[in-house]
Amino acid sequence: MNNYRDLYNNDGLDSPILATKYAHIASSLIQTLGKKLILVIGLIFALVVISLLDTLYALGYASVIPDAIYDSMITIFSVTILATTLYLLNTLLRSKRMLSSWADTFERNSIKAGMNIAMANKSKEEAIHAIAQTVEQIGEPLRKYISSKENYKNFLDADIKFNNNEIFFDILIDQDHVKDKVSGSDDNGSIDLKQSLQEYGSIVIKFTDGTVDKDTVKSFYKSLSNYVALTKNKIGLAVIVGDDVSEDAYKFAKQCENDKINYIILIEKPLIVT
């Protein structure tokens, strides 16, 4: 379906109506599936009737149609049912991909909108609190962990050595930077957060002044790849916060996502704390 292939190109990854369009197309595919399913049921019913008449003919109770015609009709209906079933399977797989894309888009836009709302200013502390409020998979354990201000200092200004080079992140929330002993919360606070981060992946945030463009994303992606290679941790969410974002940056960020880097989200937040 051309609408499905060109959806990103026509509207952009940051379009507020993208999730609605996904839902509409997925709904159309499901309706098509329902109509074809009725056709399959009708064909199966006809095949059952023909098979029953063929059985009666073989037993000598009915001889309305010659046996050769019965066999031909059964073959034709069987082939038709097989072709229709294959078409239904293809429609079902397309619907599955569409619904999966819709869920991905909804989660991406929810995180972006939630962080924009939660962050009154472009500050590191507010960014961590915004993550705790918007990322459901780690929200509760992270909120408990940062209930004491001392606990999230390890997440700020992370500096990692890699092949005589340094990887610097403004914010790095991963299992390696979670304290074993947590102040201001119960003893299970760090354990719960580490488990959640292991399942969801690390969270990395970069702040930049000015426009987030393709080169900004490319540099950020290189740092993320080096981090994954060094720590063997997957990245569940990577965020760049800038004054504004160019269109090519959105597209390139999507292209950089893979099985090791789940989401790269770009956020426009022009207000800066001085």
pLDDT of the residue at 94:
75
The total number of structural domains that make up the chain: 2
Domain end position, chosen among 66, 92, 116:
116
Interhelix angle 124-134/67-118, rounded to 10 degrees, is: 150
pLDDT of the residue at 215:
94
pLDDT of the residue at 119:
85
Bigger pLDDT: 204 vs 85: 204
pLDDT of the residue at 148:
72
pLDDT of the residue at 273:
45
The verdict on residue 273 lying in a domain is no
Identify the burial level of 180 via C-beta atoms within 10 angstroms of its C-beta, where 0-12 means exposed, 13-18 middle and 19 or more buried.
exposed
CATH number, domain at 240? 3.40.1350.10
pLDDT in tens, 187-205: 566 888 889 999 999 999 9
Mean pLDDT of the residues in the chain: 79
Average pLDDT on 54-78 reads: 69
Domain end position, chosen among 99, 116, 133:
116
Identify the burial level of 4 via C-beta atoms within 10 angstroms of its C-beta, where 0-12 means exposed, 13-18 middle and 19 or more buried.
middle
Dist. CA 85–CA 27, nearest whole Å? 20
- Residues 93, 169 within the same domain: no
Bigger pLDDT: 252 vs 44: 252
Bigger pLDDT: 180 vs 252: 252
- Residues 20, 132 within the same domain: no
pLDDT in tens, 99-148: 777 777 778 888 888 888 888 788 888 899 999 988 888 888 888 888 77
- Residues 194, 105 within the same domain: no
Across-strand partners of 171? Answer: 156, 205
122 within 8 A of 273, measured Cβ to Cβ: yes
214 pLDDT more than 90: yes
Domain end position, chosen among 116, 142, 174:
116
* Predicted confidence band of residue 272 (pLDDT cuts 50, 70, 90): very low
pLDDT of the residue at 10:
46
Dist. CA 227–CA 215, nearest whole Å? 18
Average pLDDT on 59-86 reads: 72
176 pLDDT more than 60: yes
Average pLDDT on 151-164 reads: 81
